[in-house]
Amino acid sequence: MNCSKADAALPGNRCMRLTGGDFLRLAQFIYDACGIRMPPSKKSMLESRLQKRLRALGMDSFSQYCAYLFSPEGQKHEVIGMIDLVTTNKTDFFREPDHFAYLTEHLLPEWVRRHPDGTRPFRVWSAGCSTGEEPYTLAMVLQDFADRCPGFDFRIMATDISTRVLEAGRQAVYREERTATVPLPFKKKFLLRSKDRNEGLVRIIPGLRNKVQFRWLNFTGTDFGIHETFDVIFCRNVIIYFDRATQETLLERFRSYLAVNGHLFLGHSETLSGYNLPLKAVYPTVYRNIR
């Protein structure tokens, strides 16, 4: 961030720089709070994102912000807002589409063969769900399958550490251009356009919204509060933000929540290579629980 003296003098446009010492304090706090690494290369990013909080709070320096954040009042009122800003929430509908093709063409038919009586729903966890594009993509794919397979039912749990993105997911309202990757038959079937076409907004139909439960979850917490197993867990492009020790702990916890023969989906830049886990690769970045 480059600011001139003139910029610094402008009201509401203060030039606030993050010192090395304050960066280290914040980086350690973020790691302790949610396991996300903040190497020195992320200093400019952190500075830029936290500018919004300083302005909103009327503060003139990061040192003042740190003093507030680490105070009892700040620990009570500021931590969630700060975490909301520093977490990365890139997502798209039908991102890495081959995963959804593998799910519908291979895993779902196999699951139905193993559960012909339909005594329980197919359970999915979207871990790191961001603003809802991934769980709603899953809901579209699963509902389309259900429409062709009488007796099949499903439930989706969607979790994230950011309260801001969880609320966006619950609202399920998106700019129309965000749905460009949704196949046309699914658009007609699952999306509602705004009455005012000039708004350019769409909303997921109520039937799909009711299939997705959004809840807050910190991956570094000691108790996830989850008391069921899942047939599929999607945790894609999430573990890359954690160090190896945190990754290993998290992956083992995911495995413990997988049903026998359940599947874990990772992002295409992620791998289980080097981890001693009872998960067998069955497709690129898709792993089956063999225990």
Pick the CATH number of 98-289 from 3.30.930.10, 3.40.50.150, 1.10.1740.10, 2.40.30.10: 3.40.50.150
CATH 1.10.155.10 fits 5-81, yes or no: yes
Residues of the chain within CATH 1.10.155.10 domain(s) are: 5-81
Integer Cα distance of 237 and 221 in angstroms:
19
**pLDDT for 123-153, tens place per residue?**
999 999 999 999 999 999 999 999 999 999 9
**pLDDT for 86-107, tens place per residue?**
776 678 999 999 999 999 999 9
Integer Cα distance of 44 and 112 in angstroms:
50
The 3-class SS string of 89-135 reads CCCCCCCCCHHHHHHHHHHHHHHHHHCCCCCCCEEEEEECCCCCHHH
One pLDDT digit (tens) per residue for the chain, 291 residues: 444 443 333 344 445 788 889 999 999 988 888 778 888 988 998 998 888 889 888 998 899 999 999 998 988 888 888 887 877 667 899 999 999 999 999 999 999 999 988 789 999 999 999 999 999 999 999 999 999 999 999 999 999 988 889 999 999 999 999 999 999 999 999 999 988 878 899 999 999 999 999 999 988 888 899 999 999 999 998 888 788 888 899 999 999 999 999 999 999 988 898 888 999 999 999 999 997
Integer Cα distance of 103 and 96 in angstroms:
12
pTM of the model as a whole: 0.82
User: Which positions are catalytic?
Assistant: 49, 160
Residues of the chain within CATH 3.40.50.150 domain(s) are: 98-289
